[in-house]
Each structure stands twice: as structure tokens, then as C-alpha cells.
Amino acid sequence: MIDYINILIFICGGIIISLISNKLLLRFSQSLGIRNKNDVTVRWSNQSKPSLGGIGLFLGFLFATFLYLMLEPDINIFGNIEFIGLFFSASLAFSMGLADDAYDTKPIFKLFIQISCGLFLVLSGTTIDLFHNAMADSFTTIVWVIILMNSLNMLDNMDGITATTVLFALLACLVSAMLVGDSSQMYWLYILVAVIGSILGFLRYNINPSKMFMGDAGSQFIGLFVAFFTIKFLWNLGSITQTHSWVSLILTLTALTPAAADTLTVVINRLKAGKSPMVGGKDHTTHHLVYAGFKDRQVWMIFSIIGFGSFLLSVGIIYLVLMSFLEATLLFLLYFLIVFGVLYRNTLKYKSSS
């Protein structure tokens, strides 16, 4: 039985924690957390702003964890091996991102930490059930973690884009958790809504014109967080409902359409130009929308519409799966292909004038 009062407490708590922490951080962050001050090659904004938004997001996660321990003293969530894997991998991802915000860590070190985060999840029992083979599924899980942590980091190139994309993806996870989740493990719901609340609080300071950036601490933590919950409630919906794995693939791709379309576009264009996909630049789909004449806030609105559409269609897929109309889910691939096609074509048509 879902306790909606507790859900309200956790989401409001997440919002309040995020608002307060970000407000306090802004007060003493005239220099703290500001990096790449003179770097106009990668950063879209020409203003130096604190990259401290990730701290509020991580505090929302910690808030949910310890509030649940207080509200349900008889249930030790640290006795759940999956939660231990999430907690330690999320803490590791956040710490690595925080170090990168402060010191610009080496890419090979970041990759090592991302692989370690994926291994933590695999060893704690969180794996993508796609091939029904332990080795293949474990490898796929680690690759998924690396892809999400890098994809959302790459997408974090303009005010509000990554936070909004993640918000709608986690809402899709929340709906799935409410419909097919284990009623004896309600803490997954509470953790989800608390971090969703933290994202809403962060967006207060991150929507154009922003006062702060998410930073690597935020993108790495939230990338790991999204990877975990998409595995648990999107990727593994097929195994939970005893349906085909390809349905879960379509569901996950639909929920993450904004990030997937942007990452795929950047990878294709950079490879065509003989550049490394991992090197930053102002060649994302968001940037090319500005080159096409849209203002930064309008680009955020476009991605918000795409994200909201992704959420609604994801919910539609979940209901189709529950009603056993599996073949109909194939039609949802058209949504991703259309979004990707339009955004990719725009990158070919409109270039930077500089």
C-alpha cells in the first residue's frame, strides 16, 4: 500500500533541502566552486557561476535515506544489498565529481571511477536483465552506467537542460515503481521522490538565467542515480512482468530520448569530423538550436516539451506492457527517431557563426 502522506513528506523535504542548501551555498560561493572561469571553449555561458548544484542533489539523497531510517526504525535499509550498492556507488560518483569540479581530474581517473560504480551495482545485485546471461548482463550494466554518467555530463551544457531531462526520466521510473514495485520495499519510492524534489529545488536556481551550475558533482551523482533506477524500473520491467526484454529497451530509450538524441548526434558529428566524442565543445543539439535563432530559455522550453512527451509516452508503454499489448510498443520507436532526426538535421543546417 502506497503511503501518499509519506511521499508528500519526502518530496517536500527534498525541495526544501535543495532550496536551503543552494541558497546557503550561493552566499559564500563568490569563488568556491567556480571553475573554468576563462574557459569559453567548452562552457556555453560566458559568466562564471558556482558549480555547486550537485551538493543539494546529493543532500536530498542523504535526507531521504536518514529520514526513512527515522520513520521506519524496524526496517534497516542498509540490510538491503541493492541499497548498499546504490549508496556507495552514488557516494563515489558524487565524490569524484566534486574532485573534478575542484581540480579537473584526469579522464582516465573518471573512467576508472565510473567503471567502479558500475561494478558496485553489479556486485550488489543490480543488473540489466537483457540477455539472461550473467556475464553479458553484468557487462551491459557497467557500460550503461558509464554511458549515463557521461551522457548527462555532456548534456549539462546549458541552463536547466540536464536537470529537466532527468526530472522527467525519474518521473517515468516513479510511475513504474508505483505500478510494479515491491510493496515491501517502499523506500525506493521515497528516495526517488526526495531526489525529484531536490531537482525541482535546484531548477529554481538553474533555469535560464541561472545562478548556479550542476557541476560534475551533480552530473556524475545524478547520472549514477538515473542509471540505477532506470535499471530497476525501466530496463527490468520486462523481467518483472515476464515479457520480452526488447520492450524494456524501447521504454528506456523513450524515457531518455532528450539525452539519447543529443549524445548520438554529438558522437556521429564528431566522428565524421575526425574528433573525439569525449572532448567538450559547443556542438550539442542545444547549441545548434541557438544557432538556428532560438534563445537559451526557448531551448530549455523545447527540451522540456520533449522531456514531458518522453515521460507521457513512457507511461503509455508501461500500461501497454501491463495490458500485454507488446507489439504496440514498437510504434514508440518512431518518437525517438523523429526527435533524433529533427535535432540531428538542425545540427547540419545551422552552424556557429563564430
Q: What is the DSSP letter of 160?
A: T
Q: Are the C-beta atoms of 222 and 162 separated by less than 8 Å?
A: yes
The pLDDT of 33-52, averaged and rounded, is 56
Distance CA(27)–CA(121), nearest Å, equals: 36
Which residue has better confidence, 69 or 245?
A: 69
* Burial (0-12, 13-18, 19+ Cβ within 10 Å), 271: exposed
C-alpha 49/C-alpha 337 separation (Å) is 35
Report if residue 45 sits inside a domain. no
Q: What is the pLDDT of residue 40?
A: 39
pLDDT at 45: 57
Number of domains in the chain: 1
Quick one: what percent of the chain has pLDDT higher than 70?
94
254 with 198: CB under 8 angstroms? no
Residue whose grid cell is 542515480: 225
Mean pLDDT over residues 189-200, rounded?
97
Question: Residue 44's pLDDT is what?
Answer: 57
For residue 246, what is its C-alpha cell? 526488447
Please report, rounded to a whole number, the percentage of residues in the chain having pLDDT higher than 90.
75
pLDDT value, residue 279? 76
CA–chain centroid gap for 234, Å, is 13
At residue 343 the predicted structure's pLDDT band, cuts being 50, 70 and 90, is very high
Summarised one tens digit per residue, pLDDT across range 263-302 is: 999 999 999 988 888 777 889 999 999 999 999 999 999 9
Lowest mean pLDDT among 100-109, 187-196, 307-316: 100-109
Q: Concatenate the DSSP letters of all residues of 214-260 into one string.
A: -HHHHHHHHHHHHHHHHIIIIITHHHHTT--HHHHHHHHHHHTHHHH
Dist. CA 156–CA 215, nearest whole Å? 8
Query: Which pLDDT score, from 0 to 100, does residue 30 have?
Result: 57
Pair 352, 287: CB distance under 8 Å: yes
- Rounded Cα gap, residues 213 and 80, in angstroms: 33
| Interval 46-99: pLDDT, tens | 566 788 899 999 999 999 999 999 999 888 899 999 999 999 999 999 999 999
Q: Rounded to whole angstroms, how far apart are CA atoms 339 and 262?
A: 10
Q: Kindly report whether the peptide bond that precedes residue 209 is cis, defined as omega within 30 degrees of 0.
A: yes
For residue 256, what is its C-alpha cell?
Answer: 531518455
The residue segments making up the domain with residue 161 are 4-25+53-349
Is residue 38 assigned to a domain? no
32 found inside a domain: no
Euclidean distance between CA atoms 38 and 47, whole angstroms: 9
pLDDT at 104: 79
- CA terminus-to-terminus distance, the chain: 57
Burial of residue 9 (CB within 10 Å: 0-12, 13-18, 19+) is middle
For the stretch 135-164, pLDDT in tens is 999 999 999 999 999 999 999 989 999 999
What is the per-residue pLDDT across 198-232, written as a single tens digit (0 to 9) for each? 999 999 999 989 999 999 999 999 999 999 999 99
Which carries the bigger pLDDT value, residue 336 or residue 105? 336
CB contact set of 63 (below 8 Å; sequence gap of 6+): 13, 14, 17, 194
The DSSP secondary structure of 269-282, one letter per residue, reads: HHHHTT--TTS--S
Task: Kindly list the distances between the CA atom of residue 193 and the CA atoms of 6, 64, 91, 150, 295, in Å, as whole numbers in the listed order.
Answer: 10, 9, 18, 24, 31
Q: Say if 47 falls within a structural domain.
A: no
Task: Assess if residue 36 is contained within a domain.
Answer: no
pLDDT of amino acid 282:
87
In a domain, 70, yes or no: yes
In this prediction, residue 157 carries a pLDDT of 86
* Rg of the chain on CA atoms, in Å: 19
Asked if the structure places residue 354 within a domain, the reply is no
Average pLDDT of the chain, as a whole number: 91
Residue 33 has a pLDDT of: 47
Give the pLDDT of residue 281. Answer: 82
In a domain, 162, yes or no: yes
CB-based contacts of 253, cutoff 8 Å, min separation 6: 260, 333, 336
CA dist., res. 77 & res. 82, Å (int)? 9
Whether residue 318 has pLDDT greater than 80? yes
